[in-house]
Structure 1
Amino acid sequence: MKSQWEALYVELRDGIRNRKYAPGQRLPTEHELSASHGVSRNTVRRAYLALSQDGLIRIVNGRGSYVMENGIVYEIDAVSRFRDVLDRLGVDSTSRVIQSAVEAAVGEVAERLELVEGNLVLRHTTVILGGDVPFILTTRYFPFDLIPDFENRLARMGAFTPLLREEGLGDLHRVSTTVGARMPRDDEAALLACPHNAPLLDVSALGRLSDGRAVEWQQAVMNSQLIRLSFSA
């Protein structure tokens, strides 16, 4: 015989799978479910925690619990950008800066950007959101001498590609992409509002200008429950 929280979990799980609750929909509050089902709020909380651990919902502190969106296909080619995918779907996209700093290029960063170790790079970490849903956490490295007043202008514009065009440097072309998978760190799970037991897509990519100069080395993690990658020739 199922416990109260297990019975509630099954009811909600089946409701999500049967689309009684649509992707992105806010679920009833703990108080509402407690009253309608005659159970304690701790029972509701335990059922919601299990749904979150299964990747079916995301719990946003102070705002509620939401059914996980899923299935956005990100088709990767030389010029594709995830924010363009969201825009085509009619989803408002934003980028939230987590950290930005100028530092010396070392190791893989220097190698990928074809710089002498010690040359300065701009390290820029952001979360890409669709609506209020975080999809991608990305850290990008750029040669600091690429654009005058680089850090401030990137912060103001919020995107690298239009900044390149404004500076007359042309378009950015992705020349290589490597994809793996791993479990999230605590900070990544928090920033992406994803379960600790759901793998992330671990993606690295190199971007060059049309003249061949390497100008962007990107290391990103993506919520695998929300994004599917597709590669085109």
Structure 2
Amino acid sequence: MMKPAPLYERVKQHLTEAISAGRYVPGQRLPSENDLVKRLSISRMTVNRALRELSRDGVIRRVKGVGSFVNEPNHHASLMEIRDIRHTIAERGTEHSCRLLEAGARAVSGETADALCVPEGTEILYAVILHFENGAPLQLERRFIRKDFAPGFLEIDFEEVSAFDYLQSIAPVSELEHIVEAARPDSLEITTLGIEPDAPAIRVRRRTWVGETVVTLGFFSHPGDRYRVSVRIKPADFPHRRGERDAPIVAGPAGCGSIGRR
């Protein structure tokens, strides 16, 4: 049996769900710590920790002596050219559908623990979703989430609500890492995407940070003959100071604290 979430996490969930539902809009002041203590019948220490973590995650900003306010969404930073498969399919004028294959909570280990920068045995949330375009399988999504970042993740209807949109509603992304590889398909990719065992699968590994914390890890697999990845960059988007050399492009996984920092 799963242990109930700590009280401070439930306070965070209460507030993030209220913000997502529009009960508190960007720029609006949240109830004071004393008000939350009375409304939720919990200690001030618990409320304070929840507000500190929401501030760390970029969801709210705290002004000393004034209160806590809902942050304005940073659309450019939160999207960072990340596109949800639903949006991509809709733009092509075709029909999207999906099927939830598995979701739950489990103790993490090995490479997944390393990628999320958490100790082995830490409980995380996960979902496996198969996306279709006009009835044909196009993407296998395997997503792992830090439980303290999105404790309500398993409560959403994955066939109706985009996991991508839900997570973006909690906090804007600070940093992003994409690793793209062509690889032999694993057994789940063969079964769900209909890929021949000797045909390539295009696999995108995505990590996202909020502040200095890795909050999500996703693997997005596609049939190699029906999917491509492109990047379009303007050199002007990366201004250089005189005498500064180009920053290296780091191959392989970045560190826990940031993307490509060494």
Normalised by the length of structure 2, the TM-score is 0.52
The 5 Å alignment of 1:48-63 reads none
Cα RMSD of the aligned pairs, angstroms, is: 2.4
Shift of 1:173: 6.2
Q: 1:194 & 1:175 partners in 2: Cα distance? A: 28
CA change 1:112–1:184 in 2 (3 A) is: closer
**Identity score, percent:** 19
- Matches of 1:122 and 1:188 in 2, distance apart? 21
Letter in 2 for 1:182: A
C-alpha change, 1:86 and 1:126, in structure 2 (3 Å) is same
Matched, 1:110 2:113: yes
Q: Which amino acid is 1:122 matched to?
A: L
CA contact (8 A) 2:97 2:159 kept: no
Q: Residue 158 and residue 179 in structure 1: after superposition, are their counterparts in 2 closer, same or farther (change >3 A)?
A: same
Give, as a single letter, the amino acid of the residue that structure 2 aligns with 1:215.
V
> Which amino acid is the alignment partner of residue 197 of structure 1?
D
- Is the counterpart of residue 197 in structure 1 residue 192 in structure 2? no
Counterpart-to-counterpart distance in 1, 2:110 and 2:187: 25
Secondary structure of residue in 1 paired with 2:94: coil
Paired residue for 2:95, among 70, 92, 117? Answer: 92
Give unmatched runs, 5+ long, in structure 1: 1-75
- Take 1:85 and 1:156, find their aligned partners in 2: how far apart are those partners? 16
CA shift digits 1:130-178 (9 cap, x unpaired): 1201111121100122234321225475322322355xx2334661111
Match of 1:142 among 137, 141, 145: 145
In the alignment, does 2:163 pair up with 1:160? yes
In structure 2, the partner of 1:48 is none
SS in structure 1 at match of 2:111: helix
Structure 1 residue 225 displacement after superposition: 0.9
Q: Secondary structure of the equivalent of 1:208?
A: strand
Task: Provide the C-alpha distance between the structure 2 equivalents of 1:87 and 1:103, rounded to a whole number of angstroms.
Answer: 33
Distance 2:90 2:224 in 1: 20
Query: Which position in structure 2 is the counterpart of 1:176?
Result: 177
**Range with bigger deviation, 77-86 or 198-207:** 77-86
The 1:114/1:183 distance shift into structure 2, 3 A limit, reads closer
Distance in 1 between the 2:213 and 2:147 partners? 13
Correspondence for 2:131 among 106, 128, 133: 128
Q: Provide, for residues 38-80 of structure 1, a one-character-per-residue CA deviation record: whole Å limited to 9, x for no partner.
A: xxxxxxxxxxxxxxxxxxxxxxxxxxxxxxxxxxxxxx96422
Higher relative contact order (CA 8 A, sep 6+): 1
Q: Distance in 2 between matches of 1:143 and 1:213?
A: 10
Aligned AA (1:152): E
**Matched residue count:** 155
Matched, 1:227 2:243: no
Q: Structure 1 208/110 Cα, relative in aligned 2: closer, same or farther at 3 Å?
A: same
Instruction: Go from structure 1 to structure 2 and tell me whether the alpha carbon gap of 1:154 and 1:173 turns closer, same or farther (over 3 Å shift).
Output: farther
**Which residue matches 2:48?**
none
TM-aligned CA distance change 1:163 to 1:186, over 3 Å: closer
